[in-house]
Amino acid sequence: MTSTNDHDLAIWLAEQAGAELLEVRRAGLEGKALKDAGDAASQAVLARLLAEYRPEDAVLSEEAADDSARRSARRVWIIDPLDGTREFSEPPRDDWAVHVALWEDGDLVAGAVAQPALGETFSTARPATVPPRTDGPMRIAVSRSRPPAFVDALAAKTGAQLVPMGSAGVKVMSVVRDLADVYVHAGGQYEWDSAAPVVVARAAGLFTSRADGSALEYNRDSPWLPDLLVCRPEFADEVAAFVRDHGDDS
């Protein structure tokens, strides 16, 4: 890695971890053993490289103990070494990801979401261009296992089509990739689930907020950040208003 640019570093980190995860997947493990090996291997890669290339920065990771010193740090890398562990453990599924984001002085400033099995990385270094929307029903990306209950009511009211898929990052990237128009979640998440997808989505011109339309905040005392809305800007008011009225049905 020769570039000192945070955007380029985020891509490289996510892709290095992704390459390691593909190697783990080829090792013949199954089930929980594969999940655990993937989590550990990707965390090891990211921890080692961040310590080497950004030794002064703090890190918040799903797979490491939370260091409270990050709350007073100016720069914090928020990482999810393996988003979609279940999908990772079910080859040849490709709907899992690696998240790498940088929070600096109060907001997210750079990030990358790698989908290694898809051979794609989405980043703030090279923001995606979301094409103009074509005619048809609103497409809502939802969890294939834990969709919030109010989403069915939202789909019924708007005539939307529900598009089930795996990890949180993959669902956000589905909006970036124009495979969906909206991702709304209210079933519980942490900062590492959404930080990298959110900063990448913002760079692509998409709307991002809490599910009710309020502002997202990162590097807080608790990393619990249970809900999320990422969508084309034209759907933001309608979906957020629906969540405010019906969000208790989550």
Q: What is the SS3 assignment for 202-232?
A: HHCCCEEECCCCCCCCCCCCCCECCCEEEEC
pLDDT (average), residues 7-34: 97
- Amino acid letter, residue 195: A
Convert the pLDDT of each residue in 181-230 to its tens digit: 999 998 889 999 999 999 999 999 999 999 999 999 999 999 999 999 99
CA distance 64 to 62: 6
Residues in the chain: 250
31-40, 49-58, 99-108, 158-167 — which is least confidently predicted? 158-167
Residues 33, 216: Cα–Cα separation, whole Å: 34
The segment(s) of the chain belonging to CATH 3.40.190.80 are 139-249
Q: Determine the pLDDT at residue 247.
A: 63
What is the per-residue pLDDT for 135? 83
pLDDT in tens, 114-151: 999 999 999 999 999 998 888 889 999 988 777 777 88
Q: Work out the number of other CB atoms within 10 angstroms of the CB of residue 93.
A: 16
Q: Which two tokens stand for residue 88?
A: 């990772």
The CATH 3.30.540.10 domain(s) of the chain lie at 6-123
Distance CA(15)–CA(20), nearest Å, equals 9
6-123: what CATH class? alpha beta
Q: Quote the pTM value.
A: 0.95
What is the mean pLDDT of the segment spanning 55-68?
A: 96
Q: What is the CATH number of domain 139-249?
A: 3.40.190.80
Provide the 10 A C-beta neighbour count for residue 2: 5
Residue 67 has pLDDT above 70, yes or no: yes
